[in-house]
Amino acid sequence: MSLARAETRRLFRRRFTSVILISVLLILAATAVGSFFSTEKVGETQIAAAKAEAEANYQEAVKTVAADKQRCLTENPGNAAACDWPDPSPSDYDYTWYMPETFNLRAEYPTMITLLAVVLAGAAFLIGASFVGSEWNSGGMMNLLLWRPRRLQVLGTKLAVLLGWFTGLTLLLGALWTGIFTFIATSRGTTEKMTGGVWQSFGLTGLRGLALVVVAGAVGFAMASLGRHTGMALGALVGLGALQIGVYIMAQLAGAKYPEAWLAPMWAYAWMFKEFEVFDYNSCNFSADSGCEPDKFVLTWQVTGVSLAVVTVLIVGASLWAMRRRDIT
């Protein structure tokens, strides 16, 4: 316990941790405030205004088309067929398109959960990498091992402290986030159709978000520990980005059916939103009802979940193995 207490103190006394956590809070606060002020509740007044605006736009379109037809007939005498344009239809001016933005908790909160998870995952990756990377780089790890020679226990405790605190932070912020957006939906939007099943679905999305945060923290930590420098994790991240672009281009050039399926962010998307569909628009499956339908590949959260777990286990396992076997210099 004394080691865990020391590592907790070390984690939160680092300036980098404070800077990243404050940045996270600022991003989340800006999102919440922006959502609050960019939406409003829809009532009779807003519906009437939207209908009036739609009607005005329709009338304006009718006038414009009539004037254009008249000018066309003047310029093309004896060729009325050339100016036989269809008149605007009232259905082209649906009043719902003129309604103000309103926050629908049921429809939009999953996106907000994902936003929270992605921001926290980024923070976990950076803080995790820096937490152990700077220890290696500054010689602090060696000092610590002179006090606590059980290497795996030291590295494992550091990782556990990092992930434990990020789990707690994610749960706390998740609860606050839910409260804030429920408040926004209640006061500036709608909470229609919020059944128990919807809340359960939110909970499961939140748990997948928590897993994303934990995985990001563990991978950042393990990469930096493997390279014994924070830069190793950051370099790997940049390298992965560059590799993704290269793989995507090569997959396209090679005629792969679903090049988007090779992009890591799409796997994260599938994990959070349960599935991600990619289409091969060069194919055509004709049907009498809907015409040409492209081939479709569905990336499911089960597949991406297993993949994330395997990658995480491999990287964390490698870092533990290296900690046990490599000399400390």
Partner 1 sequence: MIVEAGQVHGFLGPNGSGKTTTLRTLLGLIEPNGGRMAILGKEVPHHLPEVAGQVGAIVESPQFFPHFTAELTLSLLADAGGVNRARVPAVLDLVGLRDRAKERVKTYSLGMKQRLAVASALLKEPKLLILDEPANGLDPGGIREMRTLMRDLSDSGMTVLLSSHILGEIQLICDSVTIISAGRRVTSGSVAEVLASHRSGMVRVRLETGVDLLDAANALREAGAQVTLENDHFTVANASNPALITRVLAQRGVYVSELTPVSADLEDVFLELTGTAPVAGQNRQVDESAISGAKNGWGQ
Supply the minimum distance, in Å, between the C-beta of residue 138 and partner 1: 5
Calculate the dihedral angle through the C-alpha atoms of 17, 18, 21, 27, rounding to the nearest 10 degrees: -130
User: Which residue, 14 or 106, is less far from partner 1 as judged by CB?
Assistant: 14
Least distance between partner 1 and beta carbon 329 (Å):
7
Kindly state the tokens that stand for 190.
């709608």
Contacts of 157 (CB under 8 A, 6+ apart): 3, 4, 7
Query: What DSSP state is assigned to residue 311?
Result: H
3 vs 24, beta carbon nearer partner 1:
3
CB of 229 to partner 1, least distance (A): 14
299: which strand partners?
276
Contacts of 221 (CB under 8 A, 6+ apart): 128, 129, 131, 132, 158, 159, 162, 233, 316, 319
CB of 318 to partner 1, least distance (A): 18
Return residues touching partner 1 (CB under 8 A): 2-3, 5-7, 9-10, 13-15, 134-135, 138-140, 142-150, 325, 327-329
* Rounded distance between C-alpha atoms, residue 41 and residue 33, angstroms: 16
CB of 11 to partner 1, least distance (A): 11
Gap between the Cα atoms of 245 and 253, Å rounded: 12
Closest to partner 1 by CB, 148 or 296: 148
**Amino acid making up residue 214:** V
Tell me if residue 215 falls in helix, strand or coil.
helix
Q: Which is nearer to partner 1, 7 or 260 (CB)?
A: 7
Determine the Cα–Cα distance for residues 272 and 320; give it in Å rounded to an integer.
29
Instruction: Indicate the residue among 9 and 296 with the shorter CB distance to partner 1.
Output: 9
Tokens 């709608």, located at residue: 190
- Which lies closer to partner 1 via its Cβ, residue 119 or residue 161? 161
CB of 118 to partner 1, least distance (A): 28
Q: How far is the CB of 142 from partner 1 (least distance, A)?
A: 7
What residues contact residue 152 under an 8 Å CB cut-off, 6+ apart?
A: 320, 323, 324
Nearer to partner 1, 144 or 210 (CB): 144
Nearest CA among 60, 62, 63 for reference residue 52? 60
